[in-house]
Amino acid sequence: MAGPTKSAPLGPRLSSPTERLRVLFLSNEESGEHAGQRDGFARLEADGSIESFAWASPKMIAKSKGDEAALREVLDMIGTKRPNVILALTPSGFPFTESWFQAVAALPSPPILLLWEGDPWGRWSKPPTPEVRLWWTAADIVFSVAIGKQRSLIERHGGRDVRFAPHTYDHVRHSEEEENEPPAGGDVSEVAVIANWWGRRYLPSRLPGARQRFQLVRALQKDERIPLAVYGANWTGRGVRGMVAYDDQAAAARDALITANWDHFPDYGAYASNRLPISLLAGRVHVTTLHPGFEWLPGPEKGLFLEPTVRAAVRRVRELLDRPREEVLELGLAGHRWVRHRLSDRELTRYMLGAVDERLLRDLPDDPWARIPA
């Protein structure tokens, strides 16, 4: 497939046109859960697109050796592997230090630092942690899952080059749903909501969008005509099924006819949680929040219904349930066919490294990577 046609923003570059990337990936996993991201890098190494790939998780190292030893071990790894690019994944939860960044910058050939910021942050409701702020300041490029207010926040804390990069699905942990289309028949009829509730009964979380998420679930529960399955923490009432593991979310969505959700940070530009690509991969119609900057996503023809209010989302769910079941299943199938091999961790890895080596962008599908916001 052709790569993105829009001009990539100017950014850090390799020292020569013939040099290839030697990548060190710093994940924030605690027990090997970021399989898709690691596989994305490994595939690029295997097909010769990059020279080498290594990875480390400071959190995993720190479990047995402690935080300071983990930082030293990663620094030693940088000296041994000599990466020219370090890509870190959402560093919140591990105490990176200013002295560690100074040591990296003092290396004879300091690597380019890229950061994928997979969390939305707020100035008051969810302020960024110290380690996150350090990475924002140090990174040559910050790839953020939201722009608009999030970009302004990152820049306020020292981010120099902030670009959008969407949430994607893990093609390793959801390989079954990627490789196989959803069944064309079956007796699926439920509306599934897969989302946690972080408030108490009448006291919603301070997170933006939490109150609307509560209102969505309660409105669906009140309508006895809607067959409902609600997965996640802290819910009560009709249809509650309890927690569902990340690996099982696509399968749970596939057991339903329609999935619905309301995002936290609903006014953040271009933002969507990873439940959007997972629901589309499951092959089910998905009803969710309309964010500003969503022109890069498909619409109802691919089974994705983006609604501006909770009331509109509930109205859409009812309207879809009134349609012929076969029509709704076909729309879900169209979404599955669109999202697979377009919004997986493979494409995300290639896109982010393409900011340093534009040759990696050639094999990205134009839709949607040529249309995502700058």
Domain 175-339 CATH class label = alpha beta
- Report the Cα 312 to chain-centroid distance in Å: 25
The one-digit pLDDT tens for each residue of the chain (374 residues) are 444 444 455 668 776 778 899 999 999 998 888 999 999 999 999 999 999 999 999 999 999 999 999 999 999 999 999 999 999 999 988 999 999 999 999 999 999 999 999 999 998 889 999 999 999 999 999 999 999 999 999 999 999 999 999 999 999 999 999 999 998 777 899 999 999 998 766 566 788 999 999 999 999 999 999 999 999 999 999 999 999 999 999 999 999 999 999 999 999 999 999 999 999 999 999 999 999 999 999 999 999 999 999 999 999 999 999 999 999 999 999 999 999 999 999 999 999 999 999 999 999 999 999 999 98
Among the listed residues 122, 143, 98, the one whose alpha carbon sits nearest the alpha carbon of residue 353: 143
The per-residue pLDDT for 327 is 96
CA-to-CA distance for 204 and 194, rounded, in angstroms?
A: 18
Query: Do the Cβ atoms of 332 and 182 come closer than 8 Å?
Result: yes
Q: Which two tokens stand for residue 332?
A: 């879900």
The per-residue pLDDT for 2 is 44
Query: Do the Cβ atoms of 21 and 352 come closer than 8 Å?
Result: no
The per-residue pLDDT for 4 is 47
Q: How many residues does the chain have?
A: 374
Strand partners for 304:
286
List Cα–Cα distances, 308 to 263, 291, 294, 321, in angstroms: 11, 8, 12, 19
The per-residue pLDDT for 202 is 59
The per-residue pLDDT for 9 is 58
Q: Is 146 helix (H, G, I), strand (E, B) or coil?
A: coil
Backbone angles phi, psi at 194, to 5 degrees: -115, 100
- How many other CB atoms are found less than 10 A from the CB of residue 137? 15
In CATH terms, are 22-168+344-369 and 175-339 the same topology?
Answer: yes
CA dihedral 22, 25, 31, 36 (to 10 degrees): -80
Angle between helix 67-81 and helix 58-65 axes, rounded to 10 deg:
130
The per-residue pLDDT for 5 is 42
Residue type for 4, please?
A: P
**Every domain of the chain and the residues it spans:** 22-168+344-369, 175-339
Q: What angle do CA 245, 342, 162 make, to 5 degrees?
A: 85
Strand partners for 142:
115, 162
The CATH superfamily holding the domain 22-168+344-369 is Glycogen Phosphorylase B; (3.40.50.2000)
The per-residue pLDDT for 1 is 42
Q: Under 8 Å CB-to-CB from 127, ≥6 apart: which residues?
A: 121
